[in-house]
Amino acid sequence: MSRSAHPAGPRHADVLPEGHYSAPPADLNTLDPKVWAQTVTRNEDGVLTVGGITATRLAEEHGTPAYILDEADFRARARAWRTAFGHDADVFYAGKAFLSRAVVRWLHEEGLNLDVCSGGELATALSAGMPADRIAFHGNNKSKDEIRRAITEGVGRIVLDSFQEIVRVAHIAQELGKRQRVQIRITVGVEAHTHEFIATAHEDQKFGIPLAGGQAAEAVRRALQLDSLEVIGIHSHIGSQIFDMSGFEVAAHRVVGLLKDIRDEHGIELPEIDLGGGLGIAYTSDDDPREPHEIAKALTEIVTRECEAARLRTPRISVEPGRAIVGPTAFTLYEVGTIKPLDGLRTYVSVDGGMSDNIRTALYDAEYSVALVSRVSDAAPMLARVVGKHCESGDIVVKDAFLPADIAPGDLIAVPATGAYCRSMASNYNHVLRPPVVAVSDGASRVIVRRETEEDLLRLDVG
């Protein structure tokens, strides 16, 4: 059943202003499986269902906004990465994308390792039972306390990010009477085709030790001289939301060149190479991500070919998918509030969340899809901008999208592919409470991260 069009006259798709959108879809009721979790469908009334539960029921039981995470989809994607790389490689889930104790348990059960980049992420991993030797510790400025805890707990590897950190980790390991396994993170001068602020391999940035000018070789040289460090490999990460494998090919060529130089100078062949993560997902129908088996085949062939040319044994490969696993598994469920048509421009559709639960649009100019999910509609498409409730003009969730012209207050809409970074980067801007994360599976839902309360906010205020 569809509702009547909004009386103020929303903007239809006949004459459109300039923007970042494609043409309106032929059917606004069709959900593109590329951008939604695997169990998402519509029932006979047009209501979105996930894991056998309707969006309307989820809203009634858990409120809005809420992150809705498809557990079966998460597990299937984790298994697909583990299977694609097999037992001769390591898959480390990048915890920064989204981490909770439930997620840690799923990863453990599906046979994945975990990388963390803060003491809080490490505490979460350990509290949920992830074996310490399956944890890698990242970060460009790890504190002494974080390093000490990581070494004491026996983390499998610490990724060294600077000359100072080489000394810092070695000193703490020596104090503790430990020999710590480490990788050296280098920047190879490859800039992936991605947003400037999430491209991490070009040299003018905070991560890693540059390969240029011999700095990376000197870092390895110093680390090898320290008895409390066991250098097991080289780490390289070239960016995020990457679809083109050519950047990995150039990066692998340069990393293997460094491995050859290490062999020639020191007479050792380092046993591991970590190519990082950053593989892209579909946020809109225009995105075309690769499947894990395609990525595994391409990366393995690239590294093998480069090592054969350098006459090196092929090292054990590690990868670090985070977004590629959790990103597509979740959507954010909102309730529509104020609707504001602007003649000749677009209609602003306000929801009960915003930049506090998804900062990526404001921070990265990220693009998202959106759909009406509480009913079917046969109304014409209108150009809309989905915005939040915050006192900020940049509080935009979806910049340009088409929604039915009869969208009305009280409707539920959902933004797919919000599993990665949205909850991790959520804030209390305007003292808005952070939403819960609700896992769904086999007709049941459970809260794995609860909604914040006003008491939570006030508990930290000691004034």
Residues with catalytic roles: 391
For strand 396-404 and strand 381-387, is the pairing parallel, antiparallel, or unpaired? antiparallel
Question: Which of 340, 413, 411, 412 lies closest to 370 in space, CA to CA?
Answer: 413
How many Å apart are CA 56 and CA 306, to the nearest integer? 53
* Nearest C-alpha neighbor of 188 from the set 174, 207, 203: 203
| Tokens encoding 430 | 């305007």
The CA-atom distances, in angstroms, between 423 and each of 68, 125, 324, 367, 385 are 11, 17, 16, 17, 21
Q: Which of 235, 237, 248 is nearest to 302 (CA)?
A: 248
Nearest to 319 by CA among 121, 114, 75: 114
Distance CA 295, CA 293 (A): 5
32: helix, coil or strand? coil
Whether 409 contacts 328, CB under 8 Å: no
User: What DSSP line would sit under 98-147, residue for residue?
Assistant: ---HHHHHHHHHHT-EEEE-SHHHHHHHHHTT--GGGEEE--SS--HHHH
Q: Is 345 helix (H, G, I), strand (E, B) or coil?
A: coil
What's CA 359's distance to the chain center, in Å?
A: 13
Looking up tokens 């901008």, which residue turns up? 385
| Location of structure tokens 């020639």 | 264
The one-letter code for the residue type at 118 is: S
Report how far residue 55's alpha carbon sits from residue 374's, in angstroms, rounded to the nearest whole number. 7
Nearest in space to 341 (alpha carbons), one of 406, 395, 389, 394 = 406
